[in-house]
Chains A and B, each alone.
Chain A
Amino acid sequence: MNQPASAYFLEERHDPNETHTLSVLVQNEPGVLARVIGLFSGRGYNIDSLTVSETESQKHLSRITIVTTGTPMVIEQIKHQLDRMIPVYRVVDMTITGRSIERELAMVKVVGRGDSRVEALRLADAFRARVIDATTESFVFEITGNSSKISQFIDLMRPLGLLEVSRTGVAAIGRGPEGM
């Protein structure tokens, strides 16, 4: 199809998207998270999951784990754009290294009585979710695993009285003796 007349080239490329998990080691200083998020929103990149916390308080280092989706060229751009930020030490693509473990934690509140309550507890047991709060009509389950396992568990709880969910987002780390 011809594009309408414009000062810009309007056709988009349609390369297939990939999902990548990036670990970003940053100096924990004011505004650093805003910089990272601003980069993603400003350049139109996706954030599927974002997890951030200080990991080495002595050195003021924080580790940000970002799950993002884009074409291979966009993913490469994201890594370079992150890496050139002044407070960023390292960017590692956990998906490319291929030897990483990803985990997420969720707290899932389920409200119900009778059979559905028993069923919820039985399924929680099968998923190795722990009960961390209970009343006569509710449970809060804590479940850890990769994102798809957690999503599956949440889907199963839905008909059993799922009330709300709080998820941490993905944290990732490489296997083996080497650090990032």
Chain B
Amino acid sequence: MTDQSNDPNQMTGAAMIVRALIDHGVQHIFGYPGGAVLPIYDEIFQQSEVEHILVRHEQGAGHAAEGYARSTGKPGVVLVTSGPGATNMVTPLTDALMDSIPLVCITGQVPTHLIGNDAFQECDTVGITRPCTKHNWLVRDVNDLAKVLHEAFYVASSGRPGPVVVDVPKDVQFAVGTYHPPRKDDVHVSYTPRVKGDPMQIRKAVALLASAKRPVIYSGGGVINSGPEASKLLRELVEVTGFPITSTLMGLGAYPASGKNWLGMLGMHGTYEANMTMHGCDVMLCVGARFDDRITGRTDAFSPGSKKIHIDIDPSSINKNIRVDVPIIGDVGNVLGDLLQVFKAEAKKPDIKTWWQEIATWRARNSLAYKKSNDVILPQYAIQKLFEATRGHDTYITTEVGQHQMWAAQFFGFEEPHRWMTSGGLGTMGYGLPAALGVQVAHRDSLVIDIAGDASVQMTMQEMSTAVQFELPIKIFILNNQYMGMVRQWQQLLHGNRLSHSYSEALPDFVKLADAFGCVGIQAIKPGDLDGALKEMIKVKRPVLFDCRVAALENCFPMIPSGKAHNEMLLPVEATDEATAAAFAGGKALV
């Protein structure tokens, strides 16, 4: 027996948690203290390897960790207390699960002997977070803690990434036990995500691609999650095949927006050419995307004439919404590598000149057109100006959810992966501001901008205080139309323009608010103000709230009306009131 007092691996549960963070290379965590995590905060106080970012609300910690994870590829780490601390994390956990973001969330819990007694700040954290995590654990014995923490990091960041929760009762934090560094047998033997694609399936895919006359590549967030190598391989595949490529909201940046084969984003607010190409293709290669309902439109009319190849690391994504012909289960980067090798060895670039000519006619429709104005700032124009102003800077963009998010996706060109942080699956208003914090923590010297809406940004506005405290010079670029724009748009299109509770009667003065927070407020009202104001925003090395007053009633086009197929898009030039009414007319017209 070794003398316990001299064994460096003998420590309290709280110390194990900090030690495990260090062993996993964690440099930053986001959190909020409370009764059930005080022992851990005490350990954090007594070390300097892990920097703790104190947020103003636990939801902010969660989204900040998501932004951190998305922009670095490393898991984001959150520390919150029991009860309300844990329940406030439910939204970011669900958000991370939907968008496959690796998060490790450590929650405090009431002491083991009080669990089930309705103790102060007790809640059934593992019960509540079971459906919104990839996996979760309640640790009842301090000697299980090291293994669980190591497994938590592995589960969060391997396979299809996702959020995990480790719930640690306060007595376990105080108890002394044996720590061990990460090792192989920390992980469930039942968890073995498949990385390498089946060579037979890859061969089938190559044969299909080589024989294609009207091909398209449809890529998604899986390419980003797989790492920078996957984006490189995707670009090479596009180069080698000469195929047109579109992407989901989550996948923007994997292929550069300036690339010549780029069709723009697809889906409900995607470009006409992207959706028409999807609709008319004969071979579709889906890479790390999941045929989500915002992408497919009506499923029975989705790309009816195509053979579909689907690369995904999660078998449950295959045949969930759309039946595919050649599923390939594996990591996108790994599979693309193998696929490219086979293609280069055995196939030739197919001749798809006529297909590109057809695509050119769709492109010529200019589906992102909008009417410019000298009097009011059009939101699309604001994004274009922002894009121009940030060129040459090392820029990261986050967004909230709504019209501004779609305009950002349409008008901001992303050249690299990991530069675009948005809440895709869950559609969480309030995501962008704290996410920007997380990005800025990871990239101190970069330009981090949250493209926001006036409604969304108020949901997590309190985190401006965090930005000031930690000197994180995030820029909150608010497209202020005084409406919940997307809600108003749907009400106009679907509910007889009865704008039920989508107007913000009493918006704060964002410039004064910025002042109150101790950051910089900037306002632009006229199109002519924009260039100078944007320049100032970028120049200031402090957090900025930018109140960009935009046209109040602008709608986001093009769009696929509900229940319609990809080839039934409504284009901006055609979106007169009559055409819109006709496009949306159901059994009961617009009621």
Contacts and interface: CB of A to CB of B under 8 A. Distances in A.
B293 interface: yes
B584 to A, nearest CB: 6
A151 B370 CA distance: 67
Contact of A9 (B319, B495, B563): B563
Contacts of B574: none
B316 A5 contact: no
Given A3-B563, A3-B587, A5-B494, A13 B300 contact: yes
A82 to B, nearest CB: 9
A86 B134 contact: yes
Nearest to B134: A86
Contacts of A42: 131
A143 B412 CA distance: 69
A34 B298 CA distance: 34
Contacts of A73: 319-320, 323
A76 B586 CA distance: 33
Contact of B190 (A2, A27, A34): A27
Contact of A1 (B190, B585, B587, B591): B587
B590 interface: yes
B316 A81 contact: yes
A76 B562 contact: no
Contacts of A2: 563, 585-587
Nearest to B329: A80
Interface residues of A, number: 32
Contacts of A6: 494, 562-563
B134 A7 contact: no
A95 B318 CA distance: 21
B315 A8 contact: no
Nearest to A84: B316
B183 interface: no
Interface string A69-90: 0000100110011011111110
Nearest to B298: A9
B563 A7 contact: no
A5 B586 contact: yes
A38 B590 CA distance: 38
Given A30-B138, A77-B316, A38 B131 contact: yes
B379 interface: no
A83 B495 contact: no
Contact of A4 (B127, B190, B320, B587): B587
A34 B130 contact: yes
Residue with the greatest number of chain B CB neighbours at <10 A, chosen from A4, A8, A11, A34: A4
B293 to A, nearest CB: 6
A126 interface: no
Contacts of B395: none
Interface in B572-586: 584-586
A96 interface: no
Contacts of A30: 138
Interface string A123-164: 000000000000000000000000000000000000000000
Interface in A1-60: 1-11, 13, 26-27, 30-31, 34-35, 38, 42
B120 interface: no
Contacts of B138: 30-31
Interface in A99-136: none
Interface in B150-190: 155, 160, 188-190
A69 B126 CA distance: 29
Given A6-B562, A10-B563, A86-B188, A77 B320 contact: yes
Interface in B29-56: none
Contacts of A31: 126-127, 130, 138
Contacts of A38: 130-131
Contact of A84 (B188, B293, B314): B314
B297 interface: yes
Contacts of B587: 1-4
Nearest to A25: B190
B316 A80 contact: yes
A78 to B, nearest CB: 9
A13 B585 CA distance: 22
Contact of A89 (B130, B190, B490, B495): B190
A41 B45 CA distance: 43
Contacts of A83: 315-316
Contacts of A11: 298, 300, 563
Nearest to A74: B320
A75 B586 CA distance: 32
Interface string B122-136: 000011001100110
Contacts of A86: 134-135, 155, 188, 190-191
8 tightest A-B CB contacts, nearest first: A80-B316, A2-B587, A5-B494, A86-B135, A89-B190, A2-B586, A80-B315, A86-B191
Given A2-B587, A4-B588, A27-B188, 7 more contacts: A8-B562, A9-B563, A31-B126, A34-B130, A76-B319, A87-B188, A88-B190
15 contacts: A5-B588, A6-B494, A9-B298, A9-B299, A11-B300, A27-B188, A31-B127, A31-B138, A35-B130, A38-B131, A42-B131, A73-B320, A85-B135, A86-B135, A87-B190
Interface of A: 1-11, 13, 26-27, 30-31, 34-35, 38, 42, 73, 76-77, 80-81, 83-89
Interface of B: 126-127, 130-131, 134-135, 138, 155, 160, 188-191, 293, 297-300, 314-316, 318-320, 323, 490, 493-495, 562-563, 584-588, 590-591
